[in-house]
Amino acid sequence: MTRLTTGMLEGIPADLVSYDEALKRGTGLGLFGIACNAAGVPKAKARRALLSTVAAVVPVTAGGGIIPGFSEAVREIIVHLGCRAFVTEKSDVGGLAEAVKNGADVVFMADDDLFAAFDLRRRRLVDNVNATAKGYVCALDALAGGLLGKAVLVIGAGRVGSACVRTLLERGSRPAVYDVVEAKARALSSECGITFEPDLKRALSRYSLIMEASGAPGVIEKGDVSPDTTVAAPGVPLGVSSQAVPLLKDRLIHDPLQIGVSVMLVMAACGRGEGQNIAERRT
Ligand SMILES: NC(=O)c1ccc[n+]([C@@H]2O[C@H](COP(=O)([O-])OP(=O)(O)OC[C@H]3O[C@@H](n4cnc5c(N)ncnc54)[C@H](O)[C@@H]3O)[C@@H](O)[C@H]2O)c1
């Protein structure tokens, strides 16, 4: 996973409304709509859940340390979706204690390996990797007018790429995978029973629906873009070259945080995280 930088985050709070509107124009779904669809929760139910949820964002110093602006950007995305949220003054364990003492129902925390939303009411967690994959597959589905039976090239067989493959399969699409480390793509291909693509350029000439999950800059170039090419690109930095971006027009979805955090929030607020069911735990 690429470590986000303050530069990648600084425009997020100020541009949230215009980003959301652009997303609505392109996909017919804004951040809230994508999050509800990705989480499998009806909008009215999600709205009620968000109104009765308090979220805390706890800065974490482990690993590379606090990224200035990260917690604030996460808080602004949460507030934008209609949920109360605060960033704790303290970091780490002190911050978690502060979140609990101040009534947080959901706690967002990230280190260099894991970015999770902890649903304290139900003892469940939502991993940003899975939430991001669900959100981007939903966005691609909307851009493509449905994914059922359609072939999608997934670039990158890492954590996000693998989660995208699983989500695409759940939606009835036909994913294929390419990774610069051939063994990773081969392993994912045999594990999930999907097509392995050995040559990126050849694959890009044959697939019009692309999930860019490598985070390698500019892997999709101008010459790879046809009038039908549609790209959902969670990878950071953007895997589409600056010459190719204008050719894709509104057939490109990419942001460093907004879709993933929106899906995490709705999943956590609505009890869609992973973990043992409390009823199961007591039996
Ligand atoms: N937009 C978001 O909200 C969001 C959320 C989570 C992760 N991400 C980003 O998604 C990307 C993937 O994250 P991850 O956790 O899966 O990382 P990862 O390291 O687990 O996987 C990346 C994969 O891409 C492959 N790869 C690298 N260069 C490549 C290239 N040139 N062509 C094809 N494959 C290549 C690697 O071999 C690896 O398998 C990262 O850039 C990460 O920062 C974005």
User: What is the per-residue pLDDT across 189-233, written as a single tens digit (0 to 9) for each?
Assistant: 999 999 999 999 999 999 999 999 999 999 999 999 999 999 999
pLDDT band at 280 (very low <50, low <70, confident <90, very high): low
For residue 36, the SS3 value is: helix
Q: Give the residues across from 231 on adjacent strands.
A: 210, 252
Q: 207 exposed, middle or buried (CB, 10 Å; 0-12, 13-18, 19+)? A: buried
Q: Looking at the DSSP assignment, which residues form a beta bridge with residue 106?
A: 55, 119
Angle at 221 between CA 217 and CA 222, to 5 degrees: 145
Ligand 1 centroid to Cα of residue 57, in Å, is 24
179 lines ligand 1 (CB under 6 A): yes
Q: Is the CB of 156 under 6 A from ligand 1?
A: yes
Identify the pLDDT of residue 151: 98
Task: Give SS3 for 1.
Answer: coil
Determine if ligand 1 sits within 6 Å of the CB of residue 197.
no
Residue 86: enclosing H or E segment and its boundaries? Answer: strand 84-87
* pLDDT value at residue 70: 95
pLDDT at 283: 52
**What pLDDT was estimated at residue 5?**
86
pLDDT in tens, 156-178: 999 999 999 999 999 999 999 99
The protein residue with its alpha carbon nearest to ligand 1, atom 3, reads 257
Cβ(184) – ligand 1 distance below 6 Å: yes
CB-ligand 1 contact for 13 (6 Å cutoff):
no
Q: Are 266 and 50 in contact (CB under 8 A)?
A: yes
Nearest-10 Cα torsion for 63, 128, 172, 35? -160
101 CA from centroid of ligand 1 (Å) = 36
| Ligand 1 proximity of 239 Cβ (cutoff 6 Å) | no
Q: What is the pLDDT, as a whole number, of residue 63?
A: 87
Q: Contact, 255 vs 77, CB < 8 A?
A: no
Average pLDDT over residues 107-125: 96
| Confidence class for position 13, pLDDT limits 50, 70, 90 | confident
Contact 188, 158 (CB under 8 A): no
The domains located in the chain, with CATH, are: 6-128+259-269 (3.40.50.12150), 131-256 (3.40.50.720)
pLDDT at 127: 98
Average pLDDT over residues 106-135: 97
| CB 182 less than 6 A from any atom of ligand 1 | no
229 CB within 6 A, ligand 1:
no
pLDDT confidence bin for 30, thresholds 50/70/90: very high
Q: What is the pLDDT of residue 6?
A: 86
d(CA 260, CA 268): 12
Max Cα-Cα span within the chain: 59
What's the number of CA atoms in the CB half-sphere (13 Å) around residue 147? 27
pLDDT at 4 over 90: no
Residue 282: is its pLDDT beyond 80? Answer: no
Question: What is the Å distance from ligand 1's center to 239 Cα?
Answer: 10
Neighbour count for residue 93 (Cβ, 10 Å): 10
| Residue minimizing CA distance to atom 41 of ligand 1 | 215
Q: For the segment 53-108, what is each residue's pLDDT rounded down to a tens digit? A: 999 999 999 988 899 999 999 999 999 999 999 999 999 999 999 999 999 999 99
Q: Is the CB of 165 under 6 A from ligand 1?
A: no
The 10s digit of each residue's pLDDT in 127-153 is: 999 999 999 999 999 999 999 999 999
